[in-house]
Structure 1
Amino acid sequence: MKSAKEVAEIQQKLQDLGVKYCIGAYVDIHGIPKAKVVPIDHLPQMAAGSERYTGYALDGLGQAPSDDELNSVPDLDHIIQLPWEPKVAWMPADNHFQGKPYPLNTRVALKNVLAQAAEMGFGMNLGIECEIYLLKQNADGSLSIPNPDDKLDKACYDVRGFMDNFAWLDKMASAINSLGWDLYSFDHEDANSQFEFDFNYSDALTTCDRLTFFRYMAKHYAKEDGLVATMMPKPFSDKTGTGAHFNMSLYDLKTGANLFACDPKDDPRGLGLTTLGYQFIAGILKHGPALCAAFAPTVNSYKRLVRRGAMSYFSWAPVFNSYGSNNRTNSVRVPMGGGRCESRNADGAVNPYLAATLALAAGLEG
């Protein structure tokens, strides 16, 4: 935790930026942010865990009605000033219980497994591909494609479909870059009114924080335009589902070197992966069916994990607990050039902290 002096310095800096309120957002088992809003004058108390919560009111935190309250402790190293409302600062938070980090909080769980990896000399790199639909909600509650011109059977990379939604896309891209996430590509994805944002990978905890905020931000900017942004795994039976592919590698904590990377010529399998990388994949595959419950956590998720279904052509969904290179039906793919493995089971409903926790634990076992 920060010292009182450090907290006071952060408080003053935020006040100078015009911040009036702070949100310390932890997540429930579904990855949904939960928080109280605290005036900036009370940031020191908030940083010390002043905000308390009845855990039984939250999904998946393992408390009974008679249990003592949880509290939340914000991570003051990962503050985001809301791009659309600079009076508010967002901070990811951990739950604590009776003065200690609460292990059933999934962000705390990820920190605990990252600490186990650190004892082995490893850190975890994680990049998540953010696929998302931009839709219209009709009077009866159903969802539909808002742009009638976005109707190609194979809409992937469609320039017109992209530019017709430029206002929302520009808001998103500008905000991502203003936050320092380093957006390097975004495009019209495979389905009508589906898009993908790719920003640079980071350490696992930071990337999970970013995905959580990304979903919140995307929904806000869509609402400004009278639309709905959703990462629902399969909103339409006849269109491509929404993935949130996890691109993973381990790095050396001392040097920062990627420990999965090697020249494909030095890899007997030719994929550009070290022995450690294959061992990590072995752990993922060993626990593949169980991991799928975290990577694909809803009933709707399994409407995505089909070979074809109602689509006019084959889906890109991973339907085999296997690994390989460019065969997208593998649950684990080693992209061209190697150096990382991609779990393709992860979808837009994922709680990234929970999935990263379990994937790292399985990989370390391998």
Structure 2
Amino acid sequence: MTSKFAGTEQLAAKQNIEELKKELKDKGVKYALGSYVDVHGITKSKMVPIDHLDSMMKGSELYTVYALEGMGGKGPQDDECQTIPDRDSLVILPWKRDVVWFASDLHYHGEPYPLCSRVILKKTMEEARKAGFEFMLGIEPEFYILREEDGKVKPYAPEDTLVMPGYDIRTTLHSMPFLDTMVEYMNELGWDVNSLVHEGGNGQYEFDFTFENAVTTADRLIFLRLMAGEVARQYGAFASFMPKPFVDNFGSGAHHNMSLYKVGTNQNLFYDENDPRGNNLSSIAYSFIAGLLRHAGSLAAISAPLVNSYKRLTPRGMMPQISWAPVYATYGRNNRTAMLRVPKNRPAVENRVPDISANFYLSSALHLAAGLEGIAEGLDPGDLVDFDLYNLSDEELKNLGVGILPRDLLEAVEAFDRDPLTEKVFGKEFKDEWVKLKKKEWAEHHFHVSEYEQKRYMKLF
């Protein structure tokens, strides 16, 4: 990260904790957060008075994390985990400047806790570096800003009622109090926002900012969800990170834009101007793509992790427009029907399946591992598919060798469970915990009798 907060350069790099504490106190900071995430990517922490920063940085704060679902099978007789804050992730909350936040790793008995999401990503990143690769990642967050009025949920801007408000200047301007505050804060944190856009949903927005190494990007996305929710509250609204909050409106993605750089350089190893296929992609990029396609089902499971996620991944649904969501396990240039896209304006691979509900440490780790496997085995993804796949029959798709992404969470979790790579990346305990948790979530949804079913079947016969 650059410029962690206004007026301070490289504060986090100071070796003396007492010096850091004094400078923070001089800036009005009263409390510190050593934040870790649960399996869902929700940020957790105790609030520590700044006078105890030195102890917190050494791991004084203990957490019974395995009391949370999906965080391990230890019992009430076991010791707690401790958080070890990452000093380089230091951020003063822009909306509450008396609090400083650190992304943290969980440790158990002095060792990294294997079920900690951030630890899992850092381990996979280290394996990539040993192979000479730095994993760079940019994520495009989409989410809704909504308000409650008379018991109904409505867009933040009351006028935001167009059938297709995407790119609409008027409703964007009406939403500028929230949007401008967010951009101001994000730039203060050094994220360098290059655009913001009203997406296709009423009250839906996207912010695009500079890519970084995957750990830093995941830290930012976790912090972004916290910040967006808190800023929305200041304007009498709330942020929704539900992938498909409305049956007749667009879903919220979090496209992963990935590239590999040569360690210690600015050399993007996905670029090759002499690509014989004419796509300016290297053999490393093609093999990375092939690795992602091999593990498409597992990647969907971990990066579109909710029952609701799969109501986004459909060609049309109950909307008057097509969904523009990926449905097919293939790759193309500008083909929004495909899982993967290789844009013409940047040497990167974009996976359009992930949504805004993901735990970004976990999704990043599995994407990287799948791509590295493709490189190690020299896999080839075949030719680009650059035509609309929505209107093809199952037989036509089969003849093209194009697979269909999981159609619900159960299909995705079963693919995840079968995939040997998931145990290699996450470990057996985490994998078993996660599969059990997600199958339970699917079952709870499946056993629920919806209003649709009652209206459709109650008096049908």
* Same structural fold, with TM-score higher than 0.5 when normalized by the shorter chain: yes
Q: 1:104 maps to which residue?
A: 115
Equivalent-residue separation in structure 1 for 2:272 and 2:346 (angstroms): 7
- Residue 37, structure 1, aligned to residue 47, structure 2: yes
1:20-31 to 2 correspondence within 5 Å?
20-31=30-41
- Determine the structure 1 residue equivalent to 2:93: 82
The answer to whether structure 1 residue 259 and structure 2 residue 253 are counterparts is no
Equivalents in 2 of 1:215, 1:27: separation in Å?
12
Aligned length: 362
1:245, 1:345 within 8 Å by CA — same for their partners in 2? Answer: yes
Q: Please list every run of 5 or more consecutive structure 2 residues that lacks an aligned counterpart in the other structure.
A: 1-11, 375-461
SS at match of 2:307: coil
CA distance, structure 1, for counterparts of residue 88 and residue 186 of structure 2: 18
| Cα distance change on mapping 1:5 and 1:327 into 2, 3 Å | closer
Letter in 1 for 2:134: G
Secondary structure at 1:215 match in 2: helix
Larger radius of gyration: 2
Residue 151, structure 1, aligned to residue 161, structure 2? yes
Q: Which runs of 4+ in 1 moved over 6 A?
A: none
State the AA in 1 paired with 2:287: Q
Q: CA deviation at 1:309?
A: 0.1
Structure 1 position 195 matched with structure 2 position 208: no
Q: Judge conservation of contact 2:14–2:20 (CA < 8 Å) in 1.
A: no
Between the aligned residues of both structures, percent identity stands at 48
Amino acid at match of 2:71: L
Contact 1:133 1:194 in 2 (8 A): yes
1:73 aligns to 2:123 (yes or no): no
The structure with the greater share of residues assigned to helix is 2
The C-alpha deviation readout for 1:6-65, integer Å capped at 9, x for no partner, is 322322221222111100110001000011111111111111111001122223211322
> Where do 5+ consecutive residues of structure 1 fail to align?
none
> In 2 relative to 1, CA 242–105 (structure 1 residues): closer, same or farther, beyond 3 Å?
same
| Aligned 8 A contact 2:147 2:237 in 1 | yes
Q: Secondary structure at the match of 2:287?
A: helix
Partner of 2:255: 245
CA spacing shift, 1:71–1:3, aligned 2, 3 Å: farther
Q: In 2, Cα distance between the equivalents of 1:62 and 1:159?
A: 48
The equivalent residue for 2:445 is none
Give a deviation string over 1:256-306, Cα, whole Å, max 9, x none.
Answer: 21111233xx22333221110111111111011011111100001011001
Match of 1:118 in 2: 129
Which residue of 339, 342, 354 corresponds with 2:362?
Answer: 354
Paired residue for 2:102? 91
1:146 Cα deviation (Å)? 3.9
CA distance in 1 between partners of 2:33 and 2:250 (Å) = 35
Q: Determine if contact 2:156/2:175 at 8 Å carries over to the other structure.
A: no
Q: How does 1:200-219 map to 2 (within 5 A)?
A: 200-219=210-229
> TM-score of the superposition, structure 1-length normalised?
0.96
Indicate the RMSD between aligned Cα atoms, in angstroms. Answer: 1.6
1:364 lines up with 2:372 in the alignment: yes
Contact 1:55 1:63 (C-alpha < 8 Å) held by counterparts:
no
- In structure 2, relative to structure 1, the CA distance for the partners of 1:5 and 1:188 (3 Å cut) is closer
**1:212 positional shift:** 0.5
Is structure 2 residue 313 aligned with structure 1 residue 305? yes
